[in-house]
A and B are shown apart, each in its own frame.
Chain A
Amino acid sequence: MTHAAERATDPGSSSLGQGSLQDGSRLDLRWAIGGVAVVLAGGALTRYLTENVPVWSQGTALENLGGAVEFPVYAIIIGLVLNAVLSALGVRGRLAGGFRTEFFIKTGLVLLGGTVVLSVIVRAAGPAIVQALALITGVFFFTWWVAGKLGVDDHLRALLASAVSICGVSAAIAAAGAVKAKKEHLAYTATLVIVFALPSIFLLPWLANLLGLSDAVAGAWIGGNIDTTAAVSAAGALAGEDALQIASIVKLTQNALIGVVAGALTAWFAVKVERDANAPRLRAVDFWRRFPKFVLGFIAASVIVTVAAEFLDAGTLDSLDTTIKGFRDYFLILAFVSIGLEFEARSLREAGARPVAVFGLATVFNLVLGLLLATVLFGSFEV
């Protein structure tokens, strides 16, 4: 989603040809199709390397490494390399209309629902909701407090606190709409989310293994800590299939609370921060509008496959599972390539060090609180 924020701040994007996105920015369809083609090419290369590197490295000193590296690693690195090349050619901003990370990741997550048995969702929902409420509340107010101590602007405080406590860029966008933040604040927060998420993808599965966490605790820790949903899927995939399922359920639970937090922020800013007596009242439809609908798709997919499993023979069910996982991983690969393509370092330099310090401190707090909650709530959970 950083492309939306990026387009909003990219001086070159406003003069692009015909067509208009719903976010008000202009888009040339030909460039957008070109952007999608770049993502597909990155995805194809990722799949090629994922299949062939283990074969090429057999019998060499790199055999263990070649067999251990999985598709999220290739996809993100390829995305970053393509980012550097397209930036050097001066065309990345124009192609960004095709870098649809959110669509790719959400489609992948709907398909992921088709690989999770409904009973796992039902059993994990309770602890996931408790963890999400405790983490969002604790991390949001810690971040708000630290940002205030460091003198960060109130609108940027709201975006940073929402991003680090809920679900990264999605939450920052919802919060930006709620508090009427500047587009520059949104672009900057989106970049910070990715800067912190990229190392977390590799760091958290490694730490979870080092700490000897069970799959469920590792998944809950990853899902509760890494800010952006795509990065949660990448880290979960590295930690294993069971960890991926729990990480996704925990993250989707946080996603589902975006509307509540955005609604609370709208009211808080109107009444307490900006003291606007003429602010419109919040309606139930505002919460529904901000509710991430792909969560419903995730649950629907799980219900469909769980019911179908009652009527299918084992062979057909295995074949269906293979197909769904194949398409799921394909969309996740496209999302990870897009993450690399969207990375934007420029706005970090423009904003200075204080918001980076806020995000860093909040991330450490999130890691510690998240580990505590995941251990308590998912310690005895069996996937």
Chain B
Amino acid sequence: MTTQDQGQEPDDTSAISRFTFSEDWAAVVVGLAILLLALAGIITEDWLIL
């Protein structure tokens, strides 16, 4: 760490934890939505145009 960092009060990183784990639910929703749409035959691999 730099000299500047020494002596600083520890920053609270728990907010970063909360944000990171909120992405979990987004991934679950998107992943399962794609799976169910594929299962219903609505989307196929051809949708991956990019």
Contact = CB atoms under 8 A, between A and B. Distances in A.
Contact of B50 (A40, A290, A308): A40
Interface string B6-50: 001011111111111111111110111011101101011100101
A176 B21 contact: no
Nearest to A7: B16
A107 B44 CA distance: 17
A320 B41 CA distance: 8
B32 A301 contact: yes
Interface string A232-258: 000000000000000000000000000
Contact of B17 (A109, A174, A182): A174
B14 A180 contact: yes
Interface in A7-42: 8, 21-24, 40
Given A176-B17, A186-B16, A107 B27 contact: yes
A200 to B, nearest CB: 22
Contact of A351 (B1, B20, B30): B1
A326 B48 contact: yes
B44 A4 contact: no
A21 B19 contact: yes
A290 B32 CA distance: 21
B35 A180 contact: no
A98 interface: no
B17 to A, nearest CB: 4
Report the contact-size class of chain B (Cβ under 8 Å from the partner).
Answer: 35 or more
A327 interface: yes
A103 B23 contact: yes
Interface residues of A, number: 61
B11 to A, nearest CB: 5
A72 interface: no
Q: Does more than half of chain B's interface fall in helix, strand or loop, or is it mixed?
A: helix
A173 to B, nearest CB: 5
Nearest to B2: A350
Given A23-B18, A327-B34, A110 B27 contact: yes
B31 A110 contact: yes
Most buried by A among B13, B28, B31, B50: B13
A185 B31 CA distance: 32
A330 B44 CA distance: 13
Nearest to B43: A323
B14 A102 contact: no
A180 B10 contact: yes
A305 B10 contact: no
A319 interface: yes
Contacts of B45: 322-323, 326-327
B17 A173 contact: yes
A263 B35 CA distance: 33
B35 A8 contact: no
B20 A107 contact: no
B42 to A, nearest CB: 10
B24 A106 contact: yes
Contact of B24 (A23, A114, A294, A327): A294
A188 B41 CA distance: 45
A66 interface: no
Given A155-B10, A292-B21, A327-B38, 15 more contacts: A5-B16, A23-B16, A23-B19, A102-B27, A106-B24, A109-B27, A173-B13, A180-B10, A180-B13, A180-B14, A182-B8, A294-B28, A300-B28, A304-B39, A350-B2
**What 4 pairs across the A-B complex have the smallest Cβ distances?**
A110-B31, A106-B27, A297-B28, A177-B17
10 contacts: A47-B50, A110-B31, A173-B20, A182-B5, A294-B31, A296-B28, A300-B32, A308-B39, A320-B39, A350-B1
Interface of B: 1-2, 5, 8, 10-28, 30-32, 34-36, 38-39, 41, 43-45, 48, 50
